[in-house]
Chains A and B, each alone.
Chain A
Amino acid sequence: MATEIPKNHKKRNDAILIAALLLAAGILFLATGAAKKDGAQVCVYVDGARAASYSLFENREIPLAYDGHNTLKIEAGAASVTDADCPDRLCVKQRAISKQGETIVCLPHRLIVKIEGGDAPDVDGVVR
C-alpha cells in the first residue's frame, strides 16, 4: 500500500526530524549568542576621547599604553584592570564591570574603561 510507511522508514524519519530540530535549535542558539556578542563592547577612553573598543565576550588580556600602562583583562563577560603603573592603583582595586554604562577609572592616566551597548535596558542610572 502506498500510504503505509515501512517501520524502519518511520524510525529513519523520526531520526531526521530530531536531527533537523536539533540543528535548528543549534543555529538559533548560535545566532542569538552571536547577537549578544555583537552587543556589548569594552570601550577605552583617554582624555575623554575614545581610543579603543573590544568585545566583552572575547576573553583576552590587553596591555594599554597611553599616558601610562594599564592591563585590561576581559574574561567571562566582565572587564577589569588587573595591573597598572599609576601611583594610586585605584583602577586595579575597582570591581570588574559587565553592565552597560559601568566604568573603571584611572585618573592619573586619564583613562576610562566603559561598557557600551549590550542587551541591558536603556537607563539613566543604576542604584545598588
Chain B
Amino acid sequence: MRHKPPAAIAGALLAAVLTLSACAQPSAGASSPPEPRASSVDVTPAPADSAVPASYDDIGFVMGTVVNQTIYAGDKTIAQDITNILQDTEEKWMSWRAEDSDIAAVNAAAGTGTKTPVSAQTAAFLTEATRLAADSGGAFDPTIGKLTRLWDFDGGKNEVPPAGDIAALAQDVGYEGIYIEGNDVALARPTGIDLGAMGKGIGCDEIQAALEGRTDVRGALVNIGGSSVLTYGQKDSAEPWKVAVTDPRDTAGFLGVLALEGTNHVSTSGDYERYFEADGKRYHHVLDPHTGYPANSGLMSVTVVAARGAASDALSTACFVLGYGDAALALLASYGADAVFVTTDRQIHVTDGLRDRFTQIADGYTLQPPEQE
C-alpha cells in the first residue's frame, strides 16, 4: 500500500512554493543603515549522553535566503565563519544592485561605449559567467537582466508582459556584447547584467575554499536556498552523502536520491519553483535568453553535479534551456559534469557518471536506459 500525501498537502505545498519568491531580500541600498552581521542558529540535536557531538547543524539567513549547514568538525565555530563568508559574498553580490555598485555602473553605461572600471573580483565573476555563456551557446546568458526585471517573477507580478516589450529586450540580449579588458568592463548593447543564476553557486565555491583551509573539518553539507548544495569531504560514517532530488510534480516528495562521494556541487533548475499560470499555461522563471520567454525545452527539472559551484549553477540553467539532447550532454561533458534530466513526459535521463549513484523513489516516472551510441 502506497501512502500518497493528501491532495490538501500538495495544495498547501504548491501555495508555499509560490510564496517562496516573496522571501524578502535584505536591503543593500547605499542609503540604508548598515545591515547587522549575518547570524545563525545552532540546531545541533542534544547528544544522547554527554559526549561531544560528531557533527553540528546550523541554520542561518544569508544571501536573502536560508542556509542549512551540517558540519563534521571538532567544534562549531566554523558554522559562523561560513555564515560570515556568505555575508561577504552577499555584499559583493547583492550590492551590485545598489546604485553605486560595480554592476549597476556597468549596466548604467550599457550601449554608450564607455568602459567602467570594476573590482578584480567582479571582473573575475564576469569572466567566468561570459565563458559559461559562450560554452552554452547563450543558453545561459548574464545579459538578460532587463528581461528578468520585465517578467519580475521575484516580485510576484504574475502576468505575461506585452510581446513587443519582450521581443525588443530579447533582441539586445547576448553575452557577445560583454567586453572585459583587465578590470574594465563595457556592454556594447543596452542590456543589463544579472548573475542571479550563478550567485548561490559562487557562494558554495567560496565556502569550499574556506573549508579547504581548515584541517579540523572532516566533512560538511551546505545548502544555500534549497537549490544549491555543497557536499565536502566525508561523513564520519564514511557513507556517501545522500542528496535527494525534489519530485517536480509532487514537491513534497523526492524524485530520487543521489549518493555522492566527497566534494561535489549540486544545483537544480526547475519549472516548479517560481511560476504562475495564465490561459492554462505555466510560465516559470527560467527564461530562454534567445526568445525572452520561459524555456520550453521539454524539461520539468534538471539537476547538475559538478566540481565547481558557479559551473553547476549556470550549467543547470543552461541545460534547462537546452533540454535533454546532444547539446546539453556535450556541454556537461566539457565541464566534467553530470546531470539528472526529468522531461515533461515523465522520463528520467541520468548521465553515465551518476547512473550508479541515482536511486529512483517517486512512482510515475520512467528511468531511461543509457543512450545507444
Contact = CB atoms under 8 A, between A and B. Distances in A.
Interface of A: 28, 32, 36, 45, 47-50, 75-78, 80, 88, 90, 93-99, 103, 105, 107, 110, 112, 114, 119-128
B47 interface: no
Contact of B257 (A47, A110, A121): A121
Given A49-B46, A90-B61, A119-B3, A127 B227 contact: yes
A127 B266 contact: yes
A120 B253 CA distance: 8
Contact of B223 (A88, A107, A126): A126
A107 B41 contact: yes
A50 B45 CA distance: 8
B20 interface: yes
**Chain B: number of interface residues, binned into ranges:** 35 or more
Nearest to A111: B41
A80 B254 contact: no
Given A103-B66, A107-B39, A123 B243 contact: yes
B20 A95 contact: yes
A78 B267 contact: no
Contacts of B24: 88, 90, 93
16 contacts: A50-B45, A76-B11, A93-B24, A95-B20, A97-B16, A98-B13, A107-B41, A120-B254, A121-B244, A124-B70, A124-B221, A125-B68, A127-B228, A127-B303, A128-B227, A128-B268
A122 B237 CA distance: 14
A123 B254 contact: yes
A45 B43 CA distance: 7
B226 A103 contact: no
B223 A76 contact: no
Interface string B127-170: 00000000000000000000000000000000000000000000
